[in-house]
Amino acid sequence: MVIGTLGKNGVVIRSVTENFGEDSSGTLVRNLLLSIAQYESQSKGERVGHAMKAKYKKGFWLWQYPLGYTRTEVRKTRNNGRQENITEPLKIIPAYKKPLRDLFKEAGKGKLRQKELAKLINEKYHFAKIHGKPLTSKMVDKIISKKFYYGIMESSTYGEAKGNHTAIIDEITWRKANIALGKNWGKSKKKDNSELTLTDFYHCFYCGRELEGYSKEKRLKSGGVGYYCYYGCRGATRSIR
């Protein structure tokens, strides 16, 4: 198919090592060799993909390191005398540890926005000297949204996996920072009920979702009727009354 398309456009395939004729036998041999080459290429790609997935599931980050992390390759000698490179887990660069940890903690307080957080870290830790350039609001947004900093890797191809790298914060700190900066992860839809105004303020301590509100009518001892509002999370068993 490929050769036919190339031929229609005036392209002729020549081989340095193989003498292809222009008859039917030459065409058959040429097509067979090209098919084998394509098979080997695809097969190699599949093997590499499977190996990458297996390594990712073991906790190894395979792409560009997130800000503040680095990795070292260790050369070890086997019993047969051959040397091989051993990939070590990612480790936090010491100079980045306090600035990044403070960034999450300050964000979680809900008093500063991205631009103000960047200014605070730049001035407090002289971040430009550490990183080579100052922290920006876009960098803050990108850092805060990464689960990587509390130990979870994310990939559009392989999904989520627990990393074997050094985490600098816990999950609760990460969730507080994301809630404070108004991230859209894990939010439930708001119900159109003006009486349940606290849905804008209460979030689940465990998963970070906005609590959903509902009301109940109860008969009072005095004979009247009382209305009680409850707030709860779909993923939790407790409610706030």
Residue 145 and residue 159: Cα distance in Å, rounded? 16
Q: What is the pLDDT of residue 6?
A: 61
Tell me if 140 is assigned to some domain.
yes
Average pLDDT for residues 100-105, to the nearest whole number?
Answer: 96
Provide the residue count of the chain.
Answer: 241
Does one domain contain both 97 and 21? no
Does one domain contain both 147 and 115? yes
As for how many domains the chain has, the answer is: 3
Residue 240 pLDDT class (50, 70, 90 cuts): very low
Tell me if 227 is assigned to some domain.
yes
Does one domain contain both 173 and 218? no
Q: What is the pLDDT of residue 43?
A: 83
Tell me if 69 is assigned to some domain.
no
Does one domain contain both 176 and 225? no
Is pLDDT at 190 greater than 50 in this prediction? Answer: no
Residue 150 and residue 86: Cα distance in Å, rounded? 24
Residue 183 pLDDT class (50, 70, 90 cuts): low
Task: Quick: pLDDT tens for 12-21.
Answer: 666 666 666 6
Does one domain contain both 164 and 210? no
Using CA atoms, how far residue 30 sits from 7, 8, 16, 172, 239, in Å, is 13, 17, 13, 62, 72
Does one domain contain both 118 and 175? yes
Tell me if 80 is assigned to some domain.
no
In this prediction, what percent of the chain has a pLDDT beyond 70? 64
Tell me if 79 is assigned to some domain.
no
Q: Residue 162 in contact with residue 59, Cβ under 8 Å? A: yes
Which DSSP letter does residue 58 get? T
Does one domain contain both 212 and 170? no
Phi, psi for 194 (deg, rounded to 5)? -65, -20
Which residue segment(s) compose the domain that 139 sits in? 91-180
CATH number for position 110: 3.90.1750.20
Does one domain contain both 102 and 159? yes
| pTM of the complete model | 0.59
Q: What is the pLDDT of residue 127?
A: 95
Tell me if 71 is assigned to some domain.
no
Task: Quick: pLDDT tens for 5-51.
Answer: 666 666 666 666 666 666 777 777 777 877 887 888 888 888 888 88
Tell me if 11 is assigned to some domain.
yes
Q: What is the mean pLDDT of the chain?
A: 79
Q: What is the pLDDT of residue 142?
A: 93
34 contact partners, CB below 8 Å, separation of at least 6: 2, 3
Q: Residue 149 in contact with residue 168, Cβ under 8 Å? A: yes
Does one domain contain both 99 and 42? no
Does one domain contain both 102 and 176? yes
Is pLDDT at 73 greater than 50 in this prediction? Answer: yes
Average pLDDT for residues 165-179, to the nearest whole number?
Answer: 93
Q: What is the pLDDT of residue 79?
A: 66
Does one domain contain both 175 and 213? no
Residue 102 and residue 31: Cα distance in Å, rounded? 62
Average pLDDT for residues 209-224, to the nearest whole number?
Answer: 67
Q: What is the pLDDT of residue 177?
A: 92
Final residue before a domain boundary, out of 9, 40, 57 = 57
Residue 129 and residue 108: Cα distance in Å, rounded? 25
Tell me if 191 is assigned to some domain.
no
Q: What is the pLDDT of residue 191?
A: 42
Identify which has the larger pLDDT, 84 or 190.
84
Average pLDDT for residues 87-110, to the nearest whole number?
Answer: 93
Does one domain contain both 155 and 202? no
Task: Quick: pLDDT tens for 120-171.
Answer: 999 999 999 999 999 999 999 999 999 999 999 999 889 999 999 999 999 9
Strands ordered across the beta sheet of 239-240: 212-219, 225-232, 239-240
